[in-house]
Structure 1
Amino acid sequence: MRRAPALSFLLVTVFLDMLGLGLVVPILPALLTAVTADAAGAVLWSGLLGSSFGLLQFAVAPLLGRVSDRYGRRPVLLASLGCLGVDWLAHAMTPGLWALLLFHSLAGACAGTQTVVNAYLADVVEPAERARAYGLVGAAFGLGFVAGPTIGGLLGAVDVTLPFYAAAVLCFAGAAYGWFVLPESRPGDGRTPLSLRMANPVSAIAAALSRPRAGRPGAGRPGAGRRGLGRLAYARLFADVSRMTFQSVWSFFLTFRFGWNTTHVGLVMAASALAGALFQALAVGPVVRRLGDKRAAVAGGLIGAVSLAGLAVASSPLMLYAFQALGVLGGFGSAAAQSWISRSIGDDEQGTVQGALTAIAAAAETVVPLAAGAAFGWALTAYAAPGLVFLGAAAFAVASTALLVTTPPPGSAAERSGDR
């Protein structure tokens, strides 16, 4: 691993970012329900806010990735944290739903954290250690949620807007921390062009996924090439749809299935995040080293699908906890898949391709929250079955895993044959 201290700085930044997000997750249903005075309307507005964020992220993420290749990762990351802080302040101070929609959309336009984190790690971590590094980032995300939902639930019991103020302060603190101590991982490369084509997300995605294979002269290590990266991108898309479906309705599911209050929801989410963080930090590296990127990604996807299907039929807290634990065990799959993708990209294109992949995920985020919210409301009112939507999430997880199974691992004979 090169410049190991940079990874430590990045993990702290990710932790602060996700701590702020975790603060507001358990309180969002109460806030939107109070504003709309209608539970079904609160779910739909929650989906609309998520979709607007995803739409702007889709439009801008490829350009942000390209900018990070040209000017460096650090400025994009700091701007992203600052914009998110402004968004949380707007949630706390703005009483109108349409104003919230505007600010949340603008925050989506600045949301480059995922793109920059993935590209940053590819800059400073050797390929053989990337799965472990992505696992550590997953642990930092999880640890942020350990403190976040617990504190958010407690603060929300005092004042529904208080967690949003706390989240804004943490985002600004993370940006300030990064300004002073986070080093740049990749100096700007003036040879990376910026153009109107790269500002068009559809063109940027097509260009990234149809580029010559990473093994061309000067492009870094051999990679999966056009066909392999395309399948990995679709697998990532289906996995993101599954994950976003779960995230969009999870707190509502806990509230309506078991009648839990915001404090209870926050504690359950914190316990799950703590278990996931510990597993990501301690087990991902050894598991992926033993299985390899492909087998680990496939195994994790299958375990995740079974967990989601189990949650759909969970009728007691004990069943819920058991299938949650199973989902935690499958957590190594996402780190393995991300490591696989990063090894399929040339050193000079990490930001560009990661930005395109972020845009693909954002396209799903534009549609999934609304679709999941509508499906949840329909299942709740028509069949009194709030967990039914998780079966759809499980189906997407299976589809993602099937694509991974059919994609040759980097450097294999099948991969090289498909690239010619």
Structure 2
Amino acid sequence: MHSSSTSRKPVLSSALKRSSTDSHPKSKAKSPLYEKTIPSAGLLGSHSKTNGVEQTSVTMSTTTRDAGKGALLALFLVTMIDMIGFGIIIPFLTYLVQDLAAEQGVVQVGLWVGLLMTAYSSAQFISSPFWGSLSDRIGRRRVLMIGLVGNTVFFTAFGLSNTLLFALSMRFFAGIFNGNIAVARAYIGDVSTPKQLATRMGLIGAAFGLGFTIGPFIGGEFSSPAERWDLFVGTIFETYPYLLPCLIASILSAGSLVLAYFKLPESIDLERAREDEHLSWGRQMSMIASNSVSMLRTATIGAMIWVSMLFMLGFTVMHSVFILYTEMDPANGGLGFSEQDNGRMFAMIGLLGIFTQATLIGPLTRKFGTRRLIPLSIILTGIGLVMIPYTQTNLVWLQMLLVLSCIAIGNGVFQPSSSTYLTRLARDTDYDLGAVMGAQESLSAFARILGPLSGGLAWELTVNGSYPWDYHTPFHLCGLLMLISGLLTLRLPVMPELDEAE
């Protein structure tokens, strides 16, 4: 058996012998596609045959493949642009559908708004496991660049939509080609030491929040430019009034593509790809699906992914009913907010989340450990979500600041902590990091589809009822989902040696 690098420690057997300090030995045998199982930081594989049977072994390194500032900046931009693409259509989507529906004689405006809102997440639900697993075989860098090319093309194409079907298709393809959040998290896991991991996952979370804040701003400020600026009168931007914000997103994506090409090195051993050459494409896809299903049934990785999915489901239920509640007449129990007031509320959530993930996650992780932060962040978020409908019009901004702080800080701690914990579980089990992150992002995308639908339905069924089955009910549903998510964390294993490493 030959080591893949002469500068590294001697090769260990395919059973992955561990040092005496490791309490989590590997035991599960995997198919050839998944035999080399830990593409984490500082881990390289070697390949051999014994009595004609292929075996894969790993080489442990004492150091990680550290990423430079250019690589981290590229990952930050990739994640931010992914969320810009998700949120950029929110301000003008209804107007775009109304314009195209009027031209085509379509009357189901609400249906098409719903389809276009869910198309992106629906596509990511389908494609994220594929991109995550593909990045384990052909490399993170290639998959990230494919996603950026897709963003560049399909963002612009969406702005050029002249029929509802074309707009829906472009939105769907933009989601299909974009599995970048999962792969970016896997990349961070590859190049980070235990001490760096939580802080760097927080960086990705901050990019997530910033993109969600910037996207709607770009979409609102730069749509219909010919109506506000003479410079655009008589140009293509008058013919296609929603092209400019989409073009801005495409330019940002193209810039990130150039940065990634020059500054983003590969983070895993590409010898891995050669191990799968004897398998047909169909066989590889079948193994990806089978592996994802078995992963979700485990008591470790599967439990953490379900915790994340339920957390995201509760969070997105709030997205669909928050504005319905705040805009409702105070005489009926609402707050009477304007569109501008609600914009400030979401900006507050975004900014508090960015602050948490950029500055607080590192110190909190060192103090409490990743495993403890997960249930604590779920509890804090759940309290904030349940308290939303109990705010009063007196001192409403102070009350909302306290409530939204719970939500933003809880979410800001949960996202990087869950990704950090999953990365560590992947390093300690028989599942590839890209596949794990792909499965997590796929179910998160499913939650972003189901959450708004569930919240809207709960609102319609209860808004005219009496307490507790009234407008409070959707927010109580958020709390229930958070409670279930928190209870599931009891199944998560404690890994004290990893928390000590922080």
Report if TM-score (shorter chain) is over 0.5: yes
Task: Give how far 1:191 is off.
Answer: 4.8
Q: Indicate the residue corresponding to 1:408 in structure 2.
A: 493
Q: Indicate the residue corresponding to 2:383 in structure 1.
A: 306
Deviations 1:24-53 (A, max 9, x none): 33443554466669xx96665444334433
Bigger mean CA offset, 250-259 vs 397-406: 250-259
Q: Indicate the residue corresponding to 1:169 in structure 2.
A: 251
Distance 2:420 2:380 in 1: 19
Task: Give how far 1:235 is off.
Answer: 0.9
Deviations 1:189-208 (A, max 9, x none): 22553653552564241244
Deviations 1:257-315 (A, max 9, x none): 66656555444322321221112111011111111112101100001111111224445
Q: Kindly indicate whether structure 1 or structure 2 has the higher relative contact order, using CA contacts under 8 Å at least 6 residues apart.
A: 1
What is the TM-score with the length of structure 1 in the denominator?
Answer: 0.81
Task: Give how far 1:114 is off.
Answer: 1.6
Bigger mean CA offset, 283-292 vs 50-59: 50-59
Distance 2:269 2:359 in 1: 32
Q: 2:407 aligned with 1:327, yes or no?
A: yes
Q: Secondary structure at the match of 2:211?
A: helix
Q: Indicate the residue corresponding to 1:214 in structure 2.
A: none
Q: Indicate the residue corresponding to 2:90 in structure 1.
A: 25
Distance 2:385 2:203 in 1: 24
Q: Secondary structure at the match of 2:494?
A: coil
1:225-236 paired onto structure 2 within 5 Å: 226-236=298-308
Q: 2:174 aligned with 1:107, yes or no?
A: yes
Bigger mean CA offset, 53-62 vs 332-341: 53-62
Contact in 1 for aligned 2:183/2:434 (Cα 8 Å): yes
Alpha-carbon distance change, 151 to 356 in structure 1, aligned in 2, over 3 angstroms = closer
Contact in 2 for aligned 1:145/1:270 (Cα 8 Å): no
Q: Indicate the residue corresponding to 1:368 in structure 2.
A: 451
Q: Secondary structure at the match of 1:324?
A: helix
**Residue identity matched to 1:287:** L
Alpha-carbon distance change, 28 to 349 in structure 1, aligned in 2, over 3 angstroms = same
Task: Give how far 1:392 is off.
Answer: 1.9
Q: 2:418 aligned with 1:337, yes or no?
A: yes
From 195, 211, 227, the equivalent of 1:128 is 195
Q: Secondary structure at the match of 2:477?
A: helix
Distance 2:336 2:81 in 1: 30
Q: Indicate the residue corresponding to 2:67 in structure 1.
A: 3
Bigger mean CA offset, 391-400 vs 139-148: 139-148
Task: Give how far 1:252 is off.
Answer: 5.8
The structure with the greater share of residues assigned to helix is 1
Q: 2:370 aligned with 1:293, yes or no?
A: yes
Q: Indicate the residue corresponding to 1:86 in structure 2.
A: 153
Q: CA RMSD in A?
A: 3.3
Contact in 2 for aligned 1:249/1:372 (Cα 8 Å): yes
From 473, 477, 481, the equivalent of 1:392 is 477
1:193-342 paired onto structure 2 within 5 Å: 193=276, 195-200=281-286, 202-209=289-296, 226-248=298-320, 250=322, 263-316=340-393, 317-318=396-397, 319-330=399-410, 331-342=412-423
**Residue identity matched to 1:358:** E
Determine which structure has more spread, i.e. the larger CA radius of gyration: 2
Q: Indicate the residue corresponding to 1:350 in structure 2.
A: 433
Contact in 2 for aligned 1:51/1:369 (Cα 8 Å): no
Alpha-carbon distance change, 259 to 342 in structure 1, aligned in 2, over 3 angstroms = same
1:43-192 paired onto structure 2 within 5 Å: 44-156=111-223, 158=225, 161=242, 162-188=244-270, 189-191=272-274
Q: Indicate the residue corresponding to 2:500 in structure 1.
A: none
Task: Give how far 1:141 is off.
Answer: 2.2
**Residue identity matched to 1:275:** L
Identical positions, percent = 27
Distance 1:168 1:254 in 2: 33
Contact in 1 for aligned 2:323/2:342 (Cα 8 Å): yes
Alpha-carbon distance change, 47 to 392 in structure 1, aligned in 2, over 3 angstroms = farther
Contact in 1 for aligned 2:76/2:204 (Cα 8 Å): yes
Alpha-carbon distance change, 315 to 385 in structure 1, aligned in 2, over 3 angstroms = farther
